[in-house]
A and B are shown apart, each in its own frame.
Chain A
């Protein structure tokens, strides 16, 4: 039976695990670059969900939304990394705890 692809539940479990790992990374890490990577991980988990349900309901909308999410993730990474570079120039550190003051 070569057609037996893994079920939707297996994909949902995997994506939940990846999302939880990304959430833990966002909360516990102090390095700002790693926090941004964890955010990307969470977005990827959501993408897995969308693709799995797109296959389950046999409609293309999930894949289209995934493409838009990838677009938004690219823009978010660019702007976030620019902010990190500017913050490093200002504070000489990329710890999240050092970026508390809003007035620069």
Chain B
């Protein structure tokens, strides 16, 4: 067994175990930490398949950004006050059945030896291509302009960047617009409503907070 296969089985086992623990843990903080472990293992798997840039983005965005967001929300919502006697929903048997069915479907669909992996095709993931016209002299004397593609092995990040800014420029801009819309939407949705105090169905904790503020103000005044 080669070292790469050994690393793959080790990291894959850790990833699967951590993902199961994400689902199984009662405390959302523990779930989030195991999710972080899963993301790091998946980043290692990306790097093993020649996707260094995607692995780095995985670590930066998922493990750095999204996990911090999850942990912030878990700590903002005080989980200790929630009743946690029941973790599973009412139809957990059906959920396990569906999961098992999907797992069996995937494992039987993927049969070994179907895809015939090429020996070493890593070069195409690390090269950029330039196009230029060149005049080619034909045997009968005429000169024809031909489009010539020239590949150059640079590195995965440069290749991905080149592809992202040339072939996928419009989706890239759409993605930036999407992020702007998501940011504005998150701000608008998550904004605290100031007029909620006047409404009738105010949550209990908000009333308590208002009362506490009044008491503090009166104590300060006194």
Binding site for B on A (CB under 8 A): 1-14, 16-25, 27-31, 33-34, 36-38, 40-41, 44, 47-48, 51-52, 54-56, 58-60, 63-64, 66-68, 70-79, 81-86, 88-94, 96-97
Interface of chain A, main secondary structure: helix
| CB-based contact A28/B95 at 8 Å | yes
Q: In the complex the two chains form, is B77's CB within 8 Å of A19's CB?
A: no
Of A25, A48, A60, the residue contacting B159 (CB under 8 A) is A60
What is the number of residues of chain B that contact chain A, defined by CB distance less than 8 Å? 98
Please tell me if the beta carbons of B70 and A74 are within 8 angstroms of each other in the complex: no
Query: Hey, which bits of chain B sit against chain A, CB under 8 A?
Result: 2-5, 8, 12, 15-16, 19-20, 22-23, 25, 28, 31-32, 35, 38-39, 42, 45-46, 48-51, 53-54, 57-58, 61-62, 65-66, 69-70, 73-74, 76-77, 82, 86-92, 94-96, 98-100, 102-103, 106-107, 109-115, 117-125, 156, 159-160, 163-164, 168, 171, 175, 178-179, 181-183, 185-187, 189-190, 192, 196, 203-206
Contact between A30 and B87 (Cβ–Cβ < 8 Å)? Answer: yes
Residues of B within 8 A of A56 (CB): 115, 117-118, 121
A64 touches B164 (CB 8 A): yes
Q: Is the CB of A59 within 8 A of B124?
A: yes
Choose one: A2, A84, A89; the contact of B2 (CB below 8 Å). A2
Determine the residue in chain A with the shortest Cβ distance to B61: A70
The B contact surface, by secondary structure, is: helix
Contact B89 A28 (CB under 8 A): yes
Q: Is the CB of A4 within 8 A of B2?
A: yes
Q: Chain A nearest CB: distance from B201 CB in Å? A: 9
Can you report 30 residue pairs joining A to B where beta carbons are below 8 Å apart? Answer: A4-B5, A5-B48, A6-B5, A6-B8, A9-B113, A17-B19, A18-B15, A18-B19, A20-B99, A20-B100, A21-B19, A27-B92, A31-B87, A40-B35, A47-B46, A47-B58, A51-B45, A60-B125, A67-B160, A72-B175, A73-B66, A74-B65, A74-B179, A75-B179, A77-B70, A78-B69, A82-B187, A82-B189, A84-B77, A94-B77
What is the bound-complex CA distance between A59 and B160, given in angstroms? 10
Q: Which residue of B lies closest to A89 (CB)?
A: B203
Cβ of A55 and Cβ of B168 under 8 Å apart? Answer: no
Contacts of B48 in A (CB 8 A): 5-6
- Chain A residue contacts of B94, Cβ below 8 A: 27
